[in-house]
Amino acid sequence: MKFGQGQKIIITGASTGIGRAIAIEFAKAGAHVGLLARREDLLAELANEIQTLGGKAFYKVADISERQETLAGLTELIHCMNGIDILIANAGVGAPTTIEPFNVETQEKMIRVNLLGVIYCIEGVLQTMLNRGKGQIVAISSLAGFKGLPGESGYTASKAGLNTFMEGMRIQLRSKNIYVSTICPGFIKTPMTEVNDEKDMPWLMDAQTAAKIIIKAIQRKTKVFRFPWQTSLLMRITSLLPDWVIERVMKKYNDNPPMPKNPL
Complete DSSP assignment for 65-105: TSHHHHHHHHHHHHHHHTS-SEEEE---------BTTB-HH
pLDDT at 263 exceeding the cut of 60: no
Beta bridge partners of 58: 34
The total number of residues shown for the chain amounts to: 264
Name the residue among 1, 52, 55 with its Cα closest to residue 23.
55
pLDDT computed for residue 186 by the predictor: 94
pLDDT, average across residues 227-240: 95
CATH number at residue 126: 3.40.50.720
Q: Are 83 and 128 in contact (CB under 8 A)?
A: yes
Residues labelled as active-site residues? 155
Instruction: Tell me the H-state helices in the chain.
Output: 17-28, 40-52, 67-81, 104-111, 117-132, 153-172, 207-219, 229-238, 243-249, 251-255
Residue 204 lies in a domain: yes
Q: Are 23 and 46 in contact (CB under 8 A)?
A: yes
Q: Are 112 and 56 in contact (CB under 8 A)?
A: no
**In which band, very low, low, confident or very high, does the pLDDT at 259 lie, cut at 50, 70 and 90?**
confident
pLDDT computed for residue 22 by the predictor: 97
Residue 2 lies in a domain: no
Residue 187 lies in a domain: yes
Mean pLDDT of the chain: 93
* Interatomic CA distance for residues 109 and 143, integer angstroms: 20
Residue 161 lies in a domain: yes
What pTM was estimated for this model as a whole? 0.94
Residue 264 lies in a domain: no
Residue 66, domain extent: 8-255
Residue 194 lies in a domain: yes
Q: Mean pLDDT: which of 45-54, 197-206, 246-255 is highest? A: 45-54
Domain count, the chain: 1
pLDDT computed for residue 262 by the predictor: 65
* Interatomic CA distance for residues 157 and 203, integer angstroms: 23
pLDDT computed for residue 198 by the predictor: 66
Residue 261 lies in a domain: no
The 10s digit of each residue's pLDDT in 91-128 is 999 999 999 999 999 999 999 999 999 999 999 999 99
Residue 175 lies in a domain: yes
